[in-house]
């Protein structure tokens, strides 16, 4: 065989292997969302319309979930494998259209569960309701008396009617955020933690604050959740997810208005639930059955984040002038005078990138890489046979 053919074959194989290695390098060089892992299957007919999920902070191997409209006013406990463990009805509560579930810290220790009766497909409800109760410390079924949960009765500004399926509770302030769902784009509204009232007395209605639209790409939001430390926010639709980073001192509304990272979710018949792992290491999704005999529970793991960089107050892995501005604006609130010395001593230092990316390249990227590799390998084999 002529030497030129030998060289051609050599470079053909180099190109094929390099194209595959390039993908692996791109995956491993940034913070990643791992591929979905099915950890359980929900088969109890009692759980056929799950619309909200959070991982328990008090009971290991446990999720708190609730059904969509059609069920009584209750939440339920299941284990990671999907088995039903217990039910917790709220005495006297309504079950108009429960759409999402959240968890947040409780003053004095423990956590609250927040149950969002916020759906309104027909746009006829004059107000919506969020219930708040202490997270149970056991999965044994129990009725929660009205004296043991509080209620926030909420209305949109100007008496507007909105459909919503996504509820977020800021772990830093315990304020509520609701993302609407419509064909023209999502809007975000908030209510203070003080909106919750004793459920045994006559309720007053709190008008929420409008933070404006979030953009057309979130118009089909079916659930949302915020990380335990309040730094990252997940929003999902039936088939796609979005991950947003929240800077120190930034509002949830501003974070959601930023550039999120989109990723494809595992196939679920009617995916309407997403919730962070209690330790922040990843997140879980599940679905309504939508005519199928069961629903999967998926877990997505995050790669470890880089260690903190001294003086990097905005946590972008670079100590620069932007960190001075963060220190200056937060002096006396989040930072002290001594933090200036830390910033000055480390000015110019950099760390590994913490940029948010998707672990697995989008299908188009995979297709191109596989196609290129296949073409060059076939060309090499053809030359070898000639």
Q: pTM value?
A: 0.76
Most confident of 1-5, 122-126, 308-312: 122-126
Q: What is the crossing angle of helices 321-330 and 337-346, to 10°?
A: 180
Q: Which residue has the higher pLDDT, 287 or 371?
A: 287
- In this predicted structure, the answer to whether residue 369 has a pLDDT above a threshold of 90 is no
pLDDT digits (tens, 9 = 90+) for 174-188: 999 999 998 677 899
What is the pLDDT, as a whole number, of residue 361? 36
What is the pLDDT, as a whole number, of residue 191? 98
pLDDT digits (tens, 9 = 90+) for 135-163: 999 999 999 999 999 999 999 999 999 99
Distances (CA, A) of 61 to 57, 75, 139: 10, 17, 11
What is the pLDDT, as a whole number, of residue 15? 38
Measure the CA–CA gap between 234 and 243, rounded to whole angstroms.
5
Contacts of 112 (CB under 8 A, 6+ apart): 103, 104, 105, 106, 132, 133, 134, 135, 169, 174
Q: Which residue has the higher pLDDT, 19 or 243?
A: 243
Burial class of residue 157, CB neighbours in 10 A (0-12, 13-18, 19+): exposed
Measure the CA–CA gap between 141 and 247, rounded to whole angstroms.
40
Instruction: Count CB neighbours of 137 within 10 A.
Output: 10
What is the pLDDT, as a whole number, of residue 81? 98
Range 61-87 average pLDDT: 96
Contacts of 250 (CB under 8 A, 6+ apart): none
- In this predicted structure, the answer to whether residue 29 has a pLDDT above a threshold of 50 is no
What is the pLDDT, as a whole number, of residue 263? 92
Measure the CA–CA gap between 385 and 87, rounded to whole angstroms.
68
What is the pLDDT, as a whole number, of residue 334? 81
pLDDT digits (tens, 9 = 90+) for 241-287: 999 999 989 999 999 998 888 999 999 999 999 999 999 999 999 99
Q: What percent of the chain has pLDDT over 70?
A: 81
Q: Which residue has the higher pLDDT, 73 or 7?
A: 73
What is the pLDDT, as a whole number, of residue 22? 31
- In this predicted structure, the answer to whether residue 103 has a pLDDT above a threshold of 80 is yes
C-beta separation of 249 from 326 below 8 A = yes
Confidence of residue 31 (pLDDT cuts 50, 70, 90): low
CATH code 2.120.10 for 37-301: yes
The rounded Cα 178 to chain-centroid distance in angstroms is 14
Q: What is the mean pLDDT of the chain?
A: 85
pLDDT digits (tens, 9 = 90+) for 349-358: 998 654 455 5
One DSSP character per residue, 52-114 reads EEEE-SSSTTEEEEEE-BTB-SEEEEEETT--EEEEEEBTT---S-EEEEEEEE-TTSSEEEE
Dihedral (CA of 353, 356, 358, 364) sign: negative
Partnered with residue 296 across adjacent β-strands are: 41
Confidence of residue 380 (pLDDT cuts 50, 70, 90): very low
Measure the CA–CA gap between 227 and 254, rounded to whole angstroms.
16
pLDDT digits (tens, 9 = 90+) for 307-332: 789 999 988 889 999 999 999 998 98
Torsion of Cα atoms, 37 then 43 then 49 then 52, to 10°? -40
Domain ranges of the chain: 24-30+309-385, 37-301
List the end-to-end C-alpha distance of the chain, in Å, as a whole number: 9
Ranges 40-54, 296-310, 337-351, 356-370: which has the least confidence? 356-370
Give the sheet arrangement for strand 50-55, strand by strand.
50-55, 62-67, 74-79, 84-89
What is the pLDDT, as a whole number, of residue 279? 95
What is the pLDDT, as a whole number, of residue 28? 29
- Name the helix (H) or strand (E) containing 3: helix 3-28
What is the pLDDT, as a whole number, of residue 7? 38
- In this predicted structure, the answer to whether residue 79 has a pLDDT above a threshold of 90 is yes
């Amino acid at each position: 065989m002529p030497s030129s053919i030998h060289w051609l074959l050599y470079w053909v194989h180099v190109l094929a292997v390099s194209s595959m290695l390039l993908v692996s390098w791109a995956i491993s060089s940034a913070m990643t969302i791992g591929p979905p892992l099915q950890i359980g299957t929900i088969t109890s007919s009692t759980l056929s319309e799950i619309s909200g999920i959070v991982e328990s902070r008090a009971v290991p191997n446990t999720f708190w979930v609730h059904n969509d409209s059609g069920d009584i006013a209750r939440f339920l406990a299941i284990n990671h494998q999907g088995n039903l463990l217990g039910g917790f009805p709220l005495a006297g509560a309504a079950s108009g259209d429960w759409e999402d579930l959240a968890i947040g810290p409780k003053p004095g220790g423990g956590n609250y569960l927040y149950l969002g009766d916020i759906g309104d497909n027909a746009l006829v409800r004059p107000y919506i309701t969020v219930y708040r109760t202490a997270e149970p410390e056991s999965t044994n079924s129990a009725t929660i008396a009205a004296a043991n949960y509080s209620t926030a009765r909420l209305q949109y500004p100007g008496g507007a009617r909105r459909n919503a399926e996504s509820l977020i509770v800021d772990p830093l302030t315990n304020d509520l955020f609701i993302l609407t769902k419509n064909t023209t784009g999502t809007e975000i509204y908030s209510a203070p933690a003080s909106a919750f009232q004793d459920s045994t007395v006559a309720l007053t209605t709190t008008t929420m604050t409008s933070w404006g639209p979030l953009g057309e790409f979130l118009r089909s939001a079916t659930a949302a959740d915020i990380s335990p430390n309040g730094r990252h926010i997940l929003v999902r639709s039936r088939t796609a997810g979005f991950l947003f980073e929240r800077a120190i001192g930034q509002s949830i509304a501003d974070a959601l208005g930023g550039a999120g990272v989109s990723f494809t979710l595992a196939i679920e018949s009617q995916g309407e639930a997403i919730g962070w792992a209690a330790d922040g290491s990843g997140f879980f999704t599940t679905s309504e059955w939508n005519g199928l005999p069961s629903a999967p529970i998926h877990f997505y793991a995050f790669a470890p984040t880089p260690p903190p960089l001294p003086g990097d107050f905005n946590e972008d892995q670079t100590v620069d002038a932007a960190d001075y501005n963060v220190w200056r604006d937060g002096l006396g609130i989040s930072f002290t005078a001594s933090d200036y010395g830390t910033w000055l001593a480390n000015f110019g230092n950099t760390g590994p990138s913490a940029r948010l990316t998707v672990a697995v390249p989008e299908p188009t990227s995979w297709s191109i890489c596989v196609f290129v590799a296949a073409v060059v390998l076939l060309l090499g084999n053809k030359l070898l046979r000639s």
